[in-house]
Amino acid sequence: MTTTEPSLILPPLTTAPEWFKELQTRAWAEYEAEPLPVRTNELWRFSSVKNLSLNDYVPAPEFLADAVRLTSRRSYQKPAGRLVFANDALFSAELLDPALKASGVIFTTLADALEKHSTLLRQHFMAQPAKLGSSKFAALHKALVRAGTFLWVPRDAEIQAPFEVFHLVEGDSAAVYPHTLIIADDNSKVTFIEHFVSFDPAQRGFACGVNDLVLKPGSKLTYVSLQEWSQNFVSVQINSTIAARDSVAVNLALNFGGKYSRLESVSRMVDRGARSDMLAVTVARGDQEFDQRTLQDHLQPDTTSDLLYKNALNDRTRTIFSGLIKVEPGAHHTDAYQKVRNLLLSDDAEANSMPGLEILADDVRCTHGATSGQVEPEELFYLKSRGIDDLAAKQLIARGFLNEVVARLPEAELSEYLQRQIEAQL
Amino acid sequence: MSSTTNSVDIDRDVGNFFYNLTPARDAGVGLSEGTIDYIVDVKGEPEWLREFRKNALHVFMSKPLPTHWAGDELKAIDFDVIRYYLASGESAKRSWEEVPAEIKQTFERLGIPESERKFLAGVEAQFDSEAVYSNIKRAVADQGVIFMGSTEALKERPDIFRKWFGKVIPTGDNKFSSLNSAVFSGGSFIYVPPGIKVKHPLQAYFRINAENFGQFERTLIIADEGSEVMYMEGCTAPKFTTATLHSAVVELVALPGAKIQYITVQNWSPNVFNLVTKRGLALEQAEVKWIDCNIGSRLTMKYPSVVLKGRKARGEVISIALAGDGQHQDTGAKMIHAADETTSNIVSKSISIGKGRATYRGLVHVPKHLRGCKNNTECDALLINASSRTDTYPAITVRGTGNSTQHEASVSQISAEQIFYMQQRGLSEAQAMSLAVNGFVNDLVRQFPMEYSVELKRLIDLEMEGSVG
């Protein structure tokens, strides 16, 4: 199955259409015009914005490390297709089985898609504004993006096996701009797994990524990201989900790596019956900071969103969660839930929670909750009285705490695979 | 005299009247160092206060409006057209007989002297910038309790006043606390000696009479070790077409084992910007409880806070906000845990009617290496009409293990089933709605003194009449 189409490894985007090149030029001007974020901006409250000075980073050089060693132990057993990007260049492409390709599924690089599906790209490429504070970084991404994935799932296609994409980084102070655009056409069904991995667990680096999920009426899209950047990595990841009538979006982020990770996720329910599940599991260690900002935007009646973010905090870590449920005027019969739970495992850890609501329609059901606590002595005692030592007991409790999120995924095989990934981190 | 009353909204307008008075003391329009010199001179204040006020003025001028987190509504305040000090030039009277007729009538119409006779241990009445009446029952005064206007306290008890003044809320805390520090006048000063439990509430009543006026009272309450005191404040103003500003600073100090309960029922008219800073300091095993009820005003921004500074200190905020058509109640609470085993509780209920907007903004802070701190926050919002709006913006920071916080919020409307059930038992739709809304806030209203809870229920009934259909 492993074949690499040479055309895909050319220096990307030299063949991009004119409109795209103009877009990039404009984006660079926007990036330069906008100041860096400051903490007094409510969207960056509590954030360690000092991490966002980008002077020291360089464009990622040629990837010289062993990519296969990085991907093999993380790979999903039988993906529907796989792309591996190393330092923003295509390293390998395992293509679809011919039946999928024949049915009209497009799974390719951004560069290839810009050439062959320019109209689709022009309509959907970064069509949603970055609303949660990172517009400067969205502009930077737009200006410098090279490596990316485009997935189009045609009407009525139901693909069981997930698509899988790797973004690997190697080299001191390397900067990458991973991009993903998935469009699930009417009544289609697809799952997508994206990995972000540093080769060297201590090397500095910067990633500024965007993933846009477009759900057409009746479609189901499950997107999972596993972030394993190095302990000295700074990243900004901007997600935008747009859910049309009766579509179901599931977005699960597993956050393990990075020194400072900013994660912005927006779900917009734009028509009746749309549903979005926003899930995240964060295991923080050392001096890591995870800065998560979310928006559940209900624009039409009869829409649903459900958010569950769980953070396990070790050592001297900090987490920030700021979430907003917004029910626009007239979006009646909205069901919106938001829950963040922090498990503090160390005396030096700090959890900041800002769960927010803005409700402009009256016939709604909205609740949110935020809790911060620690392993209860009773729970620990119970396990110890059964012969489990202190450390193992704490790990067991943390595992149970986090697995609840993954268990929400509809596919058992996928959630088992992800549970193994979490356990490897604990 | 002029007054307008609306046939339906009669009680909502209880404060909507004013008298044409020409105050003997008037600092004029606008704010400058000259305004401060005027205030200091007519009040005969010491030089340190002149410096304090001028410094505060500079802080106020240098701070931007907090529009980066609050709304743009604040931009509607024109600080240059406001009058910052208006008073008759006479000192506060000890008996109602001595109070000038029109001012006395004002408070009689608001029912203050009557309440005093019935259930209060002491009353202070402020008219524009200064207290016009201040009295404390002999039995209470004999226990050593001090209850007087802050203007008086500065002169008579500078020893205690200056020790705590500006310590809980420093000048630079926010733009409006610095404005208050620059031009404050009036407000209450209370000192309760160790071990004294004041049985009946002390009350202050704040009245704005003049148009284009800013009221900046400053209240300081000190409860010495093991003492207890309950303070109530009420506020009204007539409806003017121009904006009126009310920007108070309230500082509470509960020394070890003391208990302070502070009750506010704010029923400002819909042209008032009500921007108040309230904070209490609770030392070991002390308790500060804010009961805060916001019904009137165009925009209220008020977040009563407790700094839990001593072991086992306790803080509580009970908040009810009723945002009628065109109003914005931006209220909430802050709990700063600064010692082990401190506990705090916030319960907030809001009701938005018509185009009203109720916002909860909260802050809970548990710093490092504290043990056994607990916070519980509950926010419930009720939306009455399709155009009503509610927001919730809490911020919770917890460091380390050994503490726990929980925050929960819900938004709902009155269920059609409930209304149907009551209607088929013969209640009108408006009655059913009133009953449902009263039920929603009932568990909090019960914590209010009787007189206030009856009043609040009546206000809800009246609001609901206009909102159905």
Cα of A293 to nearest chain B Cα, Å? 13
Name the one residue in this structure whose structure tokens are 């951004």.
A110
Chain A interface mutation, best of B65, B360, B399, B417, highest count of A Cβ atoms under 10 Å: B399
User: Would you call A354 and B395 a contact, using CB atoms and an 8 Å cutoff?
Assistant: yes
| Residue B1, both tokens | 């005299």
Per-residue pLDDT tens for A294-305? 999 999 999 999
Q: Classify residue B338: in a domain, yes or no.
A: no
Please give the Cα distance from A217 to A423 (Å, whole number).
Answer: 36
Residue A240 pLDDT exceeds 70? yes
Q: Which pair of structure tokens corresponds to residue B206?
A: 């704040």
The shortest CB-CB distance from A360 to any of B389, B393, B400 is to B389
Buried b (16+ CB within 10 A) or exposed e, B383-420: bbbebbbbbbbbbbbbbbbbbbbbbbbbbbbbeeeebe
Condensed to tens digits (0 to 9), the pLDDT of residues A375-411 reads 888 889 999 999 999 889 988 999 999 999 999 998 8
Residues of chain A contacting B396 with CB distance shorter than 8 Å: 351-354, 370, 372
One-letter-per-residue 3-state SS of B1-57: CEECCCCCCCCCCCCCEECCCCCCEECCECCCHHHHHHHHHHHCCCHHHHHHHHHHH
Residue A137 has pLDDT above 50, yes or no: yes
Is B383 in contact with A342 (Cβ distance < 8 A)?
A: no
Are the Cβ atoms of B404 and A348 closer than 8 angstroms? no
How would DSSP label each residue in A115-161?
Answer: HH-HHHHHHHTT-S---SS-HHHHHHHHHH---EEEEEE-TT-B--S
A279-309: buried (b, 16+ CB within 10 Å) or exposed (e) per residue? bbbbbbbeebbbbbbbbbbbbbbbbbbbbbb
- 312-371 of A, contacting B, C-beta below 8 A: 329-330, 332, 342, 344-371
Checking DSSP bridges between strand B272-282 and strand B305-308, what pairing results, if any?
parallel
Phi (first) and psi of residue A354, to 5 degrees: -135, 75
Q: How confident is the model at residue A229 (pLDDT cuts 50, 70, 90)?
A: very high
Most confident range (mean pLDDT) of A404-408, A412-416, B121-125, B283-287 is: B283-287
| Residue A3 pLDDT class (50, 70, 90 cuts) | very low
Q: Is residue B112 part of a domain?
A: yes
> Minimal CA–CA distance to B125: which of B159, B100, B154?
B100
pLDDT of residue B466: 64
Q: Residue A13's pLDDT band (boundaries 50, 70, 90)?
A: low
Residues B92 and B227 in one domain: yes
Q: Which residues of A28-67 are buried (b: 16+ CB within 10 A; e: fewer)?
A: eebbeeeeebeeeeebbbbbbbebbeeeebeebeebebeb
What are the residue boundaries of the structural domains of chain A, listed by start?
6-374, 376-426
Q: Is the pLDDT of residue B464 over 70?
A: yes
Strand A350-359 with B2-3, pairing: unpaired
Q: Which residues pair with A365 in a beta bridge?
A: A335
Dihedral, CA of residue A100, residue A105, residue A107 and residue A110, to nearest 10: 160
- Distance in angstroms (rounded) separating the CA atoms of residues B240 and B421: 42
Contact with chain B for residue A426, Cβ under 8 A: no
Q: Could you read off the pLDDT of B74-119 as tens digits, one per residue? A: 999 999 999 999 988 788 888 888 888 888 888 888 778 887 777 7
- Nearest Cβ partner for B397 among A352, A364, A366: A352
Query: Mean pLDDT across the stretch B36-65?
Result: 95
The pLDDT value recorded for residue B134 is: 84
The mean pLDDT value of chain B amounts to 89
Contact with chain B for residue A378, Cβ under 8 A: no
| Comparison of pLDDT for B70 and B178, the residue scoring more | B178
The residue of chain A with its CA nearest to that of B376 is: A371
Q: What pLDDT shows up at residue A8?
A: 34
Q: Across chain A, what does the average pLDDT equal?
A: 92
φ, ψ for residue A15, nearest 5 deg: -95, 10
pLDDT at B453: 77
pLDDT at B30 over 70: yes
CB contact under 8 A, B383 and A346: no
Q: Is-contact B303 B334, C-beta < 8 A? A: yes
Instruction: Answer whether residue A269 shows pLDDT above 50.
Output: yes
Of B385, B403, B411, the CB nearest to A357: B411
Burial letters B237-247, b for 16+ CB under 10 A, else e: bbbbeebbbbb
Range of the domain at B464: 418-469
φ, ψ for residue B317, nearest 5 deg = -130, 125
Q: What's A324's DSSP letter?
A: E
CA angle B158, B203, B86 (to 5 degrees): 65
Residue B344 lies in a domain: no
Enumerate the residues of chain A whose CB falls inside 8 A of the CB of residue B393.
Answer: 354, 356
Mean pLDDT of B172-180: 96
Chain B hits for A368, Cβ within 8 Å: 392, 407-409
Let me know whether B422 and B298 are in one domain: no
Pairing type for strands B287-294 and B259-266 reads: parallel
Residue A271: burial class (beta carbons within 10 Å; 0-12, 13-18, 19+): middle
**Chain A nearest C-alpha distance from B460 (Å):** 18
Rounded to a whole number of angstroms, the distance from the CA of A274 to the nearest CA of chain B is 20
Q: How far is CA A272 from CA A185, A190, A217, A354, B402, in A?
A: 17, 21, 10, 28, 45
- For B385-407, the pLDDT digits (tens) are 888 999 999 999 999 888 999 99
Is B323 a domain residue? no
Q: Is residue B392 part of a domain?
A: no
What phi and psi, each to the nearest 5 degrees, are found at residue A209? -115, 155
Q: How far is CA A261 from CA A256, A354, B3, B422, in A?
A: 10, 17, 61, 53
CA dihedral (B456, B461, B465, B469) in degrees, to 10, reads 100
Residue B468 pLDDT exceeds 80: no
* A202 DSSP assignment: T
Averaged pLDDT, B55-81: 91
pLDDT at site B13 = 64
- Has residue B347 been placed in a domain? no
Q: Which of B366, B390, B403 has the CB atom closest to A359's CB atom? A: B390
Taking contacts as CB-CB distances below 8 angstroms, the residues of chain B near A350 are 368, 397-400
Q: How does A332-364 read in b/e, with b if 16+ C-beta sit within 10 Å?
A: bebebbbbbbbbbbbbbbbbbbbbbbbbbbbbb
Pick from A354, A378, A379 the residue to mutate for testing the B interface (most B CBs within 10 Å): A354
In a domain, B67, yes or no: yes
Q: Closest Cα of chain A to B105: distance in Å?
A: 43
Token pair listed for B331: 């209220």
Our CA-based measurement puts residue A218 at a distance from the nearest CA of chain B, in whole angstroms, of 29
pLDDT reading at A165 higher than 80 = yes
pLDDT of residue B469: 47
Q: How confident is the model at residue A183 (pLDDT cuts 50, 70, 90)?
A: very high
Question: What pLDDT does residue B11 have?
Answer: 52
The DSSP secondary-structure symbol of A97 reads: P
A390 in contact with chain B, both atoms CB, cutoff 8 A: no
On chain B, the residues whose CB falls within 8 A of the CB of A41 are 68
What does the pLDDT read at residue B450? 73
Q: Answer whether B39's CB lies under 8 Å from B85's CB.
A: yes
Pick the last residue of a domain from B302, B321, B348.
B302
Torsion angles phi and psi, residue B53, rounded to 5? -65, -40
Rounded Cα gap, residues A314 and A350, in angstroms: 9
Distance from CA of A351 to the nearest CA of B (A): 5
> Is A376 at the interface with chain B, CB within 8 A?
no
Measure B403 CA to nearest chain A CA, in Å: 6
Tally DSSP H helices, then E strands, for chain A.
9, 21
Domain boundary among the residues B259, B282, B302 is at B302
CB contact under 8 A, A355 and B394: yes
- A48 vs B: CB within 8 A: no
> What tens digit of pLDDT does each residue of B317-352 get?
999 999 988 899 999 999 999 999 999 999 999 999
**Rounded CA gap, A345 and A312, in Å?**
7
Provide long-range contacts, Cβ within 8 A and 24+ apart, for B162-166.
Answer: B164/B220, B164/B222, B164/B251, B164/B253, B165/B220, B165/B251, B166/B52, B166/B251
Nearest CA in chain A to B378: A369
**What residue has token string 């992800």?**
A418
Put simply, the answer to whether A373 touches B409 (Cβ < 8 Å) is: no
pLDDT reported for residue B14: 67
- Which residues in chain A touch residue B409, judged by CB atoms under 8 angstroms apart? 355, 357, 367-369
Question: Domain for residue B145, yes or no?
Answer: yes
- pLDDT band (50, 70, 90) for residue A78: confident
pLDDT of B7 above 70: no
- The pLDDT, as a whole number, for residue A426 is 78
Task: Name the least confident of A52-61, B33-42, B245-254.
Answer: A52-61
Q: For residue A304, which amino acid is it?
A: T
Domain end among B302, B322, B351: B302
Q: Is the pLDDT score of A45 beyond 80?
A: yes
Number of domains observed in the structure of chain B? 2
Instruction: Give A398's contacts in chain B (Cβ within 8 Å).
Output: none
Mean pLDDT of B183-204: 94
Q: How confident is the model at residue B2 (pLDDT cuts 50, 70, 90)?
A: very low
Nearest chain A residue to B394, by CA: A354
The reported pLDDT for the residue numbered B426 is: 94
| Between B467 and A409, the higher pLDDT residue | A409
Query: Please, are residues B115 and B451 in contact by the beta-carbon 8 Å criterion?
Result: yes
The whole-number average pLDDT for the span A65-80 is 90
Whole-angstrom Cα distance, residue B126 to residue B130? 5
Asked if the model's pLDDT at residue A4 lies above 60, the reply is: no
